[in-house]
Structure 1
Amino acid sequence: MRSRHRGGWRAVPAVAAAVIGALLATGGTAGARTTAAQATAAAPPAYLTQEAAYGAGTVTNGWERVERYRDTTPGFQAAGAEGYAPDGRGDQDGVRVTYFGGVTRPTSDRFLLYSAPGWNTGARTTPVLLVHGANDTADRAWANPGESGGYGCGALSCPSTGLMQYLAARGHRVFAIGFAHKQGDNLMQAQAVGDAVALIRAKLGVSQVDLVGWSKGEVSTRAYVSSLKPAWGRAYAGDVRKLITLGGPNGGYDYPYAHGWAHDFSIWPECGGKINAPSPHSRMTCYGTYTAHPEFSMTPSGGYDDYPGQRQMLARWDGVYGVDQSAQDWYTTYYGGQGFYTAGDGIQKAIDAGSLVVPLQRASVPASVTTYLLAGGTPSVVGIFNENRGPSDGVVFVSSALDSTGIATVGGKATVTSANHLELGWNSAAQAQVASWLA
């Protein structure tokens, strides 16, 4: 989802960070005192292997510790490596390359667990796991919205702290997950979310964790608690107290198909695009040259399938808000076919190839998980063509973000009218609302 941004679906590349040194694998940062929480901690699940840990004096963006884990469940290996765009636009960047052991294209059985200051001393009983969105990282999403520079946070200038610091300052024990594949399969990422929850429980000796899922992160968090999983995956373990979604496409989104022409210019290299995002087209004319790029297609094409996580969020909204008929090739972009400048299969074929919106609604969030839905109300994301067919945050319709179909216990809904999609992680009103729900 998204076009030139990070908090959920797409973003400008992150700036490089300092090289991180490895620390010992257990306990906390070097020299940290043992706490009561650590003393009661249990062993992590046997299928999780800690491969590295980075900490005091070296971890950036205000975090205290970052660990890399590998899930050794055979299903991950049997599933094979997820595809990456061959030109490198989807590779890990900055300090994340160090965290992933110098690997720019890590396999999806690996993930990062970030720990905020106070992760083992905060007064709040239930710890919080923050789950970022597409083409994003835990660093930019939650700790330093300005890591990518201007525009990366949805505004002309970006703050240097985010929801992580806000919650930690209020006594919450805060963690975040970092995914190996920035646009990966949400069912595999849901397994990683479950892994992170299990690790937090083991570290702190608690029975439950609260989840905050932003944008695409809503899909993986919701899939976990709903036990929507690969055939080889583990079911929900009953270990989540609250689920909070920020700008999540609970009712799906169709932005790339409704605004395909403007969307493509940020992607197609011949047009000057370089954003790590899928295109509704497989062919396009740029400056007089008709080119094919199956590797950027939303649907599997030419042996490529690099964006399954985006396809899983699709739903048709043409029956509610129509299609942007001012866009070039609008009809063939949305419904499929050969247009004047583009060719593609249309949104329905992509939905049929694996959208998770309806399966998630049918699977249902258990009644024991109190769920809160937060929407942004300002379509003002800087640098993209903002969604204008109905009330939106610039990418996701408000009615989609607040769609509670398949959610048994809704604890609250709210719209932050001052925030666009990328501001939901650092807007002061959004942060206050999240803190209120967590309390």
Structure 2
Amino acid sequence: MPYARRSSYGRRSSYGRRSTAGRWRLLLAVLLALVAGVPAAGGTASAATLPSYLTLEASYGAGTVTGGWERVERYLDTTTGFRTEGFPPDGRGDQDGKRVTYFGGVARPYSGRFLLYSAPGWNTGAKTTPVLLVHGANDNADRAWANPGEAGGYGCGAASCPSTGLMQYLSGRGHRVFAVGFAHKQGDNLMQAQIVGDAVAAIKAKLGVTKVDLVGWSKGEMSTRAYVSSLKPSWGRAYAGDVRRLITVGGPNGGYDYPYAHGWAHDFSIWPECGGTVNAPSPHSHMTCYGLYTAHPEFSMTPSGGYDNYPGQRQMLARWDGTYGVDSSAQDWYTTYYGGQGYYTAGTGIQAAIDAGSLITPLHNAGVPASVTTYLLAGGSPDVLGIFNENRGPSDGVVFIASALDTTGIPTVGGTATVAGANHLELGWNSSAATQIAAWLS
């Protein structure tokens, strides 16, 4: 034992032997902590426990998980206040594919339940701070981050979709990657912000870390930003101080008004009598299709007829008519945007929807903590296939660049960038976007 000390009597002391063994145990603990990404003091990840209000209900691993993920877990937040949100009765907003399995065979889950996806290398990646990916509206963690082509051609914003996404890109570069899956595809962003906090808490318990990086894409920007800003329901928990960096990707930081500015084209993809099946809200309460004038309150942007199935979309609204005007070439453009009865449609207009609960101004007023370095990424190519693209000003086809890069209420801006060749749906897998996100995380 070359490091054992001799006593003043010329013998190796038992104290020296115990001290040396202790040193070796401490060194081994430090090395294991560096490899596993857990602190040497305070024990391993198993010593960190979930908050009392979180329950791990189920875990799916090899043989049951697709898309390149290593595992998917379902958690329940037992906090009073969560509820089962409204779903369109025709099923277009239901969970589908593997998500039904992960949610225990339930297509319309309770919003206090969520999925936590773990990528390969979640516990071995060399990067110190883990990353939580937060998807957008009418989406899921599989398609958004791991398999952009899951929904087939055009589902990724292009005619041909890749088979891997940002998850594989980051995981392959040493990041410990996780993703959240929400119970409702168009859910209340304040409830989903609480879920983001829950997912962060679960990651902290797994790895023994104190900070997590957040990447919020599109509507996912709303819940990630609301979490760190402590914008919450009356029953909710405030920000726990556990986010290092926030990256918004095509996020409506300044809000958006696309459904009202292009309502006629937008409605054809929604209204059943016109052949629409898309899970998105309508700016109208009534519309004429093939000579038939019908009402569909279940697709309304604002609460109507006992339905409120799209609160998360309403919360993203802000008026841009003062900056870029309104699409005056669209049928019923004036009444669509400002409210009233048009030739073929009727609605209450964007301001009524904003007044019913937009979160843009509250988020600006709440402010992101200065301790959270924030990065903003925009797409610059308005060429999303299959939709009428936003054409009133520079955009990614859905969100104006000026909105995606709006830093109001963000005191610590680490950087902003525009990927000129990416539209709104391509931002999740475009190589230039992935490179920029990885650079900001590093």
Normalised by the length of structure 2, the TM-score is 0.90
Task: Compute the displacement of 1:171 (Å).
Answer: 0.1
Q: What corresponds to 1:260 in structure 2?
A: 263
Q: How much is the aligned-residue C-alpha RMSD, in angstroms?
A: 1.0
For residues 58-82 of structure 1, the C-alpha deviation after alignment (integer angstroms, 9 at most, x for no partner) is: 2000000000000001122xxx321
| Deviation of the 1:426 alpha carbon | 0.3
The one-letter code sitting in structure 1 at the alignment partner of 2:343 is F
- 1:36 is displaced (CA, Å) by 6.7
Which residue identity does 1:59 align to in structure 2? V
- Cα deviation, residue 359, structure 1: 0.1
- Find out whether 1:419 has 2:409 as its counterpart: no
| Structure 2 counterpart SS, 1:122 | coil
Aligned to 1:158: 161
Q: Describe how 1:355-370 pairs up with structure 2 within 5 A.
A: 355-370=358-373
Aligned to 2:201: 198
Alignment partners' CA distance in 2, 1:383 and 1:360: 31
Task: Give yes or no for contact 2:37–2:209 (8 Å, CA) kept in 1.
Answer: no
SS of alignment partner, residue 143 of structure 2:
helix
Check the 8 A contact 2:125/2:176 in 1, yes or no: yes
Runs of 4 or more consecutive aligned structure 1 residues displaced over 6 Å after TM superposition: none
Per-residue deviation, 1:274:
0.3
In the alignment, the residues of structure 1 paired with residue 124 and residue 332 of structure 2 have an alpha-carbon distance, to the nearest angstrom, of 56
Gaps of 5+ in 1: 1-33
Cα distance in 2 for partners of 1:232, 1:187 equals 11
2:76 counterpart SS class: strand
- Shifted more, 137-146 versus 41-50: the winner is 41-50
Partner of 2:409: 406
1: CA distance, partners of 2:435 / 2:317: 30
Q: For residue 35 of structure 1, report the CA deviation from its aligned partner.
A: 5.2
Superposition pairs of residues 278-317 of structure 1, within 5 angstroms = 278-317=281-320
Matched, 1:40 2:45: yes
Secondary structure at the aligned position of 2:334 is classed as helix
Query: In the TM superposition, what whole-angstrom CA distance separates every residue of 1:243-278 from its partner, at most 9, and x where no partner exists?
Result: 000000000000000000000000000000000000
CA distance in 2, matches of 1:249, 1:302: 28
Which residue of the partner structure matches residue 78 of structure 2? 72
- Residue type at the aligned position of 1:415: T
For residues 315-394 of structure 1, the aligned pairs below 5 Å read 315-394=318-397
SS state of the match for residue 415, structure 2? strand
Query: Which of 81, 90, 95 pairs up with 2:98?
Result: 95
Deviation at 1:408, TM superposition (A): 1.0
Q: How many residues align?
A: 403
Distance 2:123 2:36 in 1: 7
Alpha-carbon distance, 1:40 to partner = 3.2
Task: Provide the rounded CA distance (Å) in 2 between the counterparts of 1:120 and 1:310.
Answer: 35
- Say if 2:85 and 2:110, in contact at 8 Å, map to a contact too: yes
CA distance in 2 between partners of 1:311 and 1:120 (Å): 38
Question: Cα deviation per residue 1:113-143 (whole Å; 9 max; x = unaligned)?
Answer: 0000000000000000000000000000000
1:430 offset after TM fit, Å? 0.1
Query: 1:435 Cα deviation (Å)?
Result: 0.2
Q: Is the 8 A contact 2:374 2:413 kept in 1?
A: yes
Q: Helix, strand or coil for the counterpart of 2:191?
A: helix
Percent of aligned positions with the same letter in both sequences? 82
Aligned to 2:61: 55
**Residues 286 and 345 of structure 2 are in contact (CA less than 8 Å); yes or no, is this contact kept in structure 1?**
yes
- Partners of 2:141 and 2:181 within 8 A in 1: yes
1:56 shift after superposition: 1.3
Tell me the amino acid that sits aligned with residue 265 of structure 1: F
Specify the alignment match of 1:119 in structure 2.
Answer: 122
Is the 2:116–2:178 Cα contact (8 Å) retained in structure 1?
yes
Superimposed CA distance per residue, residues 159-180 of structure 1 (whole angstroms, 9 cap, x where no aligned partner):
0000000000000000000000
Higher relative contact order (CA 8 A, sep 6+): 1
Whole-Å Cα distance in 1 between the matches of residues 79 and 96 of structure 2? 27
Q: Which amino acid aligns with 2:50?
A: P
Instruction: Output the amino acid matched with 2:140.
Output: T
CA distance in structure 1 between the aligned counterparts of 2:348 and 2:96, rounded to whole angstroms: 32
- Cα deviation for residue 419 of structure 1 reads 0.2
Structure 1 residue matching 2:433: 3-state secondary structure: helix
Highest Rg: 1 or 2?
A: 2
